[in-house]
Structure 1
């Protein structure tokens, strides 16, 4: 915090510095040709839609890290990802709060939703922006925890929500649990749709073979234990995973197997044919 001894002038300068940093950040993003969403605050409702809502629980007053606040319920246009003002619209209120902070006046806690380790502001955007500008690292907040079907790990930018959304849809179709849920991962969100179709087709053949109906949970369990795990084990032994995820290697070799041999069986001859084809 820079202090000239004149709180009003300092508060005005705080706002001007915050605006200047926001403009310079946008320019740097453009020069580096980074995605447009790098500096955009995450919209809370889009995150919840992508992850799937389960429940919420009020945790009460907590001290939270400012850098854990990454989004907002309804003010994503007024501030960027680091809560720097995006225009002069918020200047009057912003400077009043900065002045109060500089005079040592008490400021009420903000209110946030918590998803995993991320926080989204319900009320208190200006207070968070001022706290960032003054170099603070924590802020008091009334926290409501939101529990989602898919965890929020790995979300940095708005584009990451696409992956989470497709994974959530995949796990509704193929309800894996525990170790299996964590192991089945792809990089391209579109691959989750293709994998879902593949598992459902595998489950249909299984039900035909056994002559009985199985629910989605049982199909998912049997696919992982009877199909996925043995095949991935063979791929590891044959050094055919490469720089893909194991799930991506499985999808590739399963597709090539059927294209080349038109069979759903697995044996060393199948893997040899696929390996020879990839080399050619």
Structure 2
């Protein structure tokens, strides 16, 4: 909260000390709650773009953006935490000079940011953003460059989320789903995307053997989704076997069980019943 005593230099010093205390207390609370280490770390811009896949960029010019939409940085991820609180006294002199100027009502130059989806990453202006947070501002003027990526940025909260996005991007390179099918195939565990990619490629290889014709990746992806994935998911729903998993996770589970149980490529009620009975038998087996 902004506190005015009538002495901008003293107030700016108080602002900095308050921001540092808040940062230290936040780190302590994270440790006590046993939260992941990355909850207070800024998102690195280049890692985010690499995970999502760079497509293009364009300059949008000067805009007013919300401070809470700024989640990362191009190159200054160590001086400030996720909420742009100083992580040490290293930035104190410049920080207090900017805070003092802001308290005097002096104009502050716009910052520069990249926009990825709804997220913003600072190119220049880390101290200005930190001071704006400390003084309770909601928005800040910024020169915006929009970065368009192959995957959208939804679901990214912490650095660890980038792993899932990265593996999903690699999966879609191997299995180029589009439209509805692209949105429908979702996994929580990043490693499962690699397994599903191998599964679809194997399915496509068997299809080409059966039809005696070559199919490119796009056609294999289309046929797999239409002829294999959707019918299986529909049967799983009818049998109430999806549970609290995603539909794709349920599909992968039952596909693995099918091959383990009966070594066949067909899908029918008999297969589903066999999987169901095997699952019930496992739950009834007493533990030793």
TM norm structure 1: 0.99
Q: 1:243, 1:101 → 2: CA distance?
A: 51
Q: 2:243, 2:29 → 1: CA distance?
A: 35
1:26-105 alignment runs, 5 A limit: 26-105=27-106
**Alignment partner, residue 16 of structure 1:** 17
1:244-259 alignment runs, 5 A limit: 244-259=245-260
| 1:34-67, Cα deviation, whole Å (9 max, x unpaired) | 1100000000001011111000010000100000
Q: CA deviation at 1:210?
A: 1.0
Give structure 1 regions of 4+ aligned residues with deviation exceeding 2 angstroms: none
When the two structures are aligned, how many residues end up with a matched partner? 280
**Alignment partner, residue 265 of structure 1:** 266
Structure 1 runs not aligned, ≥5 long: none
Q: 2:198, 2:107 → 1: CA distance?
A: 57
Q: Structure 1 residue 116 and structure 2 residue 117: aligned?
A: yes
For the aligned residue pairs, the C-alpha RMSD in angstroms reads 0.5
Q: CA deviation at 1:227?
A: 0.5
Q: 1:267, 1:179 → 2: CA distance?
A: 24
SS in structure 1 at match of 2:210? helix
Structure 2 runs not aligned, ≥5 long: 282-288
Q: 1:50, 1:195 → 2: CA distance?
A: 18
| 1:106-149, Cα deviation, whole Å (9 max, x unpaired) | 01000000000000000000000000000000000000000111
SS in structure 1 at match of 2:120? strand
**Alignment partner, residue 134 of structure 2:** 133
Q: CA deviation at 1:243?
A: 1.1
**Alignment partner, residue 195 of structure 1:** 196
Q: CA deviation at 1:154?
A: 0.6
**Alignment partner, residue 276 of structure 1:** 277
SS in structure 2 at match of 1:157? coil
Q: 2:132, 2:244 → 1: CA distance?
A: 43
